[in-house]
Structure 1
Amino acid sequence: MIKNPKYVYGPVDRYVTASLNFGEFILNKIQENRDTVALINGSTHEQLTYGEIAQEAMNIAVSLRRMGIRKGDVVAVSSENRREFWSSVIGIICSGAIATTINIGYTNDELKHVMGIAKPKFIFLSPLAYKTHAKNYRALPYLKKIIIFGDERPTNTILYKDIAIPNSGGNNKKDGYRLTENIKYEEFQAADVDGENDTLFILYSSGTTGLPKGVVISHLNVITLCSPSTPIPPLRGLSITPWYHTMGLISNLASFTRGVSSVYLPKFDVDLYFKTVEKYQISQLTVVPAALIALCKSNLKYDTSSVLIIYCGAAPLYEETAKAVREKFPSVQALLQGYGMTETTLAITLNFNPDKIGSVGTVISHTIVKVVNPETREVLGPNQEGEICVKSVMVMKGYIGKDRKDDFDEEGFLRTGDIGYYDDDQYFYIVDRLKELIKYKAYQVPPAEIETVLLKHPSIREAGVVGIPHPTAGEVPLAFVALQPGVTLTEKEIQDFVAERLSNPKHLRGGVRFIDEVPKNQTGKILRRELRKIAKTRKSKL
């Protein structure tokens, strides 16, 4: 067979374990570093070692089996970032069950939708998650047991510590699942699985253009992702990404396999973030562009000289932001952007070249990417914009309840719905979502391009752009703008600012609306469907 010269091929250099069992794989890795601190809560300064994660995970796995969980059953976890999360997830995996992580911020309708996709038998909940959605959870006929983190036990629930921590006293025989002593690592074996075909995770697409879809991720998908070919320096990192989201979930599992010590914050606060960087001498940041913009526009003064590398993902990173970063973090050697999606287990491309500002990088190992014309499906060459399509050992098995033909082409490439291109050096650039392009007359207008220009204005803190119907043009761009505190700006001033910098089809003919905050999901992606709802229902807050 001859390689297609218009396809971009990543290296073929990863090696995975003979046993494609991720439970066995991750448990062995964290046990190797059992005395190392895995996680530090930057807010409370609580530390958690790899040994503690492994021990509680093994205890949970055995307890779940005693409670009737078997291979193929689904067990959910819904929690903000807190210590019990990782032992719960790894314990579920080691029991042979499928883990599904639920966004704690889902609305009632979104929660019912995603729970109906996976139909978990058990669920682990933080007290906050239980308080928010207890009524909804109790109404689900397939949900048999609710396990609660913390010390308060609501009626008809099980405490996490009852299945994760041995209790030599009390009536252990009555419950059947309680342990009287810790499970020994040398006596434990993760439940057997067919790693190439069996499901490890059911995750959920971001839902920026509609309700989330259930993404089926296999053991092989994640083991491959966690088996890089080249060693990565063990820099102390700081993350605010929610662990229930793919970016937080998979990236942390990957760091666990390397025995890295990381610092996390349960939520993003600019002042606390800078304090944490200074206190723990953080070397590596993992952020979404929205958080990075907030940090760069802050006037707070902290010592950030320890920061050497910044990884940015989940949404486009603009060149202006990249330049501002170097002023806020003077020691940064590289601002690295990546591109990926839940459906590809995490990454598709990574940029390790600081000279390619704005690029999401080159194709990662065991991955092939092609760019096609969205209408004709013709394969395009360098510097030609089209839909990005991906084939990889790390691409999902498919969506639950959907035919693969709906999302994969005849060659087995996943159609991402993202518009982008690659340059002559095979570095990729993302332009916008296919479904989010504004169709102005015969032109396709990327909202992200207009947002880039809006954010250049010193008085604009956040910006989101959508297309609204127009009787003759089809659609015209409408901007939603959140201003910096204490400043004023008129609609016309903003329209003129854009008109001076962008071509005619990209002018804000739909106007400008002022809002307090641009709606975003937990990873910083603008929720344009929410902006469209606002556009239909109410005027802006001036």
Structure 2
Amino acid sequence: MIRNPKYVYGPQSVLVPANINFGDYVLEKMWPFRQNVCMINGATDEQLTYNDIIQQAMNFAVSLTRMGVRKGDTIALFAENRQEYWGAVVGVACSGAVLTTINTGYVKDELIHVTNISKPKYFIISPSMYEAHAKTIRSQKFVKKIIIFGNEKKQNTLSFDDMALEKNGLIRNVKYEEFQSVEVQGQTDTLFIMYSSGTTGLPKGVMTTHLNVITACGLPASHDATKVSLTISPWYHVMGLVGTLTALVTGRTAVYIPKFSVDVYLRSIEKYQVVQLTVVPPVLVAVCKNKSKYDLSSVRMIYSGAAPLHKDTIQDVKATFPNVQGVYQGYGATELTLAVLRYQFNDPVNKLGSVGVVSPNTVLKVVDIETREPLGPNQRGELCAKGELLMKGYVNLGRGSDFDDEGFYKTGDIAYYDDDGYFFIVDRLKELIKYKGFQVPPAEIEAVLLHHEGIKEAAVIGIDNRAAGEVPLAFVVPQPGSTLSEKEVQDFVAERLSNPKHLRGGVRFVDQIPKSPAGKLLRKDLRKMLKTMKSKL
């Protein structure tokens, strides 16, 4: 009944529609902007209006329902950033189905792992992903039908164009005033399943509700809706998926790039007079190192997420973008729908290194790592969060050990807040490695290494890397008589895991892996060993 004075409470300022249906919510928000350009492909200059997305979404939702899709069915979306993506996302939401977005960098075993979590009955897929993974997808007995983006016809598949575009002659355009999404219980029904490793281990399926996403979209804007923005975040990731949806409800025009290239990125800024950038730190590092002579004077605001920004990078950014007025950071997680710490658009305060203040409808606390007691201002401890942005739970796992007795999500990050309520992330308890904003679980790489017949034991840590944030490094105990090389171990992992999980930090051969009496890997001791090895070189 009484607020804890050591908790930090966000304002209760997000308005939520009575029916709490995200499909209806986002269509209603986009409708006033229907004549506006929504998306521009920076590589091809192809444009998409808000009306294009609205029409595709309604048509696709009706087609899915006629095909037999019912509320609660899971549909996978497996594609790179491309124009049809948002008609598919909103269409699935309107149909009452659950959408699971899949990392396009996954290799076979990773794809099997995540689909066994969500068990999608249907796949929406791009031609390139179909070419690479059709055999694996068809081997999954729970997959009933495959829908392919584009005009290309494949045997035993359906065409997205046939289900979403009237011009193909197979469907008629649905009228906005006659359309209504399938009824859902928005506070409890799952809208998205995304994948996160939580604080440790293999990817788990994060269930995000309609209410979670509506709450995120209702937060005060971090961008100026009247100015062009540029994003390269992959849309299967929470930063790209929910981040873009928060832009769609404001009518903003966004330039996107399907595949990152420094030259295309800088050329797009110049051509479209981009004012706002949404980035991850490695992109800023790459851009600041580039010596191309593009006009970047239009950029005023830069918003960074997914990993901490180094102070030197912030200084480099200010030298690269002559008119930049602010470099802002935020903080969130897949489990937290998007950002629970952030700066609002035109915030007059921008404290160097801070990730902003607590978002509305959110409660944060910083607790002592040992005692779990709440701490006050300027005291470092583990950051914990709860509120309307907090996920429903993990598929088949509930909330598990990632939550404390009060229902707060334990982020695994060490933080503090100052006397003004601005938060700073200073370290990480959890073992995840952050490579260019991607979560890399050491346990997953270790499990692969132990399948090598020449490896007796293995442990993986992240080491600092200016360009990428962190990169994985492996400590390996070879089997007696084995003649392993560093390259052989790196190649073994590269063949079995996706790009962010490759051993860019190298391999160190050791006699034993330090463990606690209970058998737990002592990663702190591994870091000490690494320093000793370096000093001997």
* TM-score range relative to shorter protein: 0.7 to 0.9
Q: In the superposition, relative to structure 1, how do residues 125 and 470 fare at CA in structure 2: closer, same or farther (>3 Å)?
A: closer
Amino acid at match of 1:205: S
C-alpha contact 1:334 1:354 (8 A) present in aligned 2: no
Mapped to 1, the partners of 2:256 and 2:125 lie a distance apart of 19
What does residue 189 of structure 2 align with? 198
Q: CA deviation at 1:57?
A: 0.8
Q: CA deviation at 1:183?
A: 1.1
- Structure 1 position 221 matched with structure 2 position 207: no
- Count of residues paired in the alignment: 466
Q: CA deviation at 1:72?
A: 0.5
Q: In the superposition, relative to structure 1, how do residues 159 and 371 fare at CA in structure 2: closer, same or farther (>3 Å)?
A: same
Mapped to 1, the partners of 2:209 and 2:385 lie a distance apart of 17
What does residue 409 of structure 2 align with? 414
Amino acid at match of 2:190: T
Mapped to 1, the partners of 2:211 and 2:469 lie a distance apart of 39
Q: Give SS of 2:330's match.
A: strand
Q: In the superposition, relative to structure 1, how do residues 230 and 403 fare at CA in structure 2: closer, same or farther (>3 Å)?
A: closer
What does residue 273 of structure 1 align with? 265
Mapped to 2, the partners of 1:417 and 1:14 lie a distance apart of 27
Q: In the superposition, relative to structure 1, how do residues 353 and 388 fare at CA in structure 2: closer, same or farther (>3 Å)?
A: farther
Q: Provide the TM-score with structure 2 as the length reference.
A: 0.81
Once the two structures are superposed, the pairs formed by residues 287-366 of structure 1 within 5 Å of their partners are 287-351=279-343, 352=347, 355-366=350-361
Q: Give SS of 1:23's match.
A: helix
Q: Give SS of 1:31's match.
A: helix
C-alpha contact 1:387 1:416 (8 A) present in aligned 2: yes
Q: 1:387 aligns with which of 357, 382, 386?
A: 382
Q: CA deviation at 1:388?
A: 0.8
What does residue 262 of structure 1 align with? 254
Q: CA deviation at 1:431?
A: 2.1
Cα root mean square deviation, aligned = 2.9
- Structure 1 position 106 matched with structure 2 position 83: no
What does residue 22 of structure 1 align with? 22
Mapped to 2, the partners of 1:90 and 1:296 lie a distance apart of 36
Q: CA deviation at 1:202?
A: 0.8
Q: CA deviation at 1:3?
A: 1.9
What does residue 155 of structure 1 align with? 155
Structure 1: state its 5+ residue gaps.
170-177, 439-446, 456-460, 472-479, 481-512
Q: CA deviation at 1:206?
A: 5.6
Task: Spell out, residue by residue over 1:24-61, the C-alpha distance to the aligned partner (whole angstroms, 9 max, x if none).
Answer: 00111222211111000010000000101111111111
Mapped to 2, the partners of 1:10 and 1:402 lie a distance apart of 28
| Runs (4+) off by over 3 Å | 206-210, 229-232, 351-355, 461-471, 529-537
Mapped to 2, the partners of 1:331 and 1:29 lie a distance apart of 32
C-alpha contact 1:122 1:146 (8 A) present in aligned 2: yes
- Structure 1 position 285 matched with structure 2 position 277: yes
Q: In the superposition, relative to structure 1, how do residues 100 and 414 fare at CA in structure 2: closer, same or farther (>3 Å)?
A: same
Q: CA deviation at 1:467?
A: 8.0
Q: Give SS of 2:48's match.
A: strand
Q: Give SS of 1:436's match.
A: coil
Amino acid at match of 2:219: P
Q: CA deviation at 1:419?
A: 1.6
Q: CA deviation at 1:309?
A: 0.3
Q: In the superposition, relative to structure 1, how do residues 364 and 376 fare at CA in structure 2: closer, same or farther (>3 Å)?
A: same
C-alpha contact 2:192 2:209 (8 A) present in aligned 1: yes
Q: Give SS of 2:70's match.
A: coil
Mapped to 1, the partners of 2:377 and 2:148 lie a distance apart of 52
Q: Provide the TM-score with structure 1 as the length reference.
A: 0.80
What does residue 246 of structure 1 align with? 238
Mapped to 1, the partners of 2:337 and 2:229 lie a distance apart of 21
Q: CA deviation at 1:432?
A: 2.8
Mapped to 2, the partners of 1:168 and 1:76 lie a distance apart of 24
Q: CA deviation at 1:5?
A: 1.8
Once the two structures are superposed, the pairs formed by residues 60-75 of structure 1 within 5 Å of their partners are 60-75=60-75
Mapped to 1, the partners of 2:432 and 2:277 lie a distance apart of 31
Mapped to 2, the partners of 1:521 and 1:77 lie a distance apart of 18
Q: In the superposition, relative to structure 1, how do residues 229 and 356 fare at CA in structure 2: closer, same or farther (>3 Å)?
A: closer
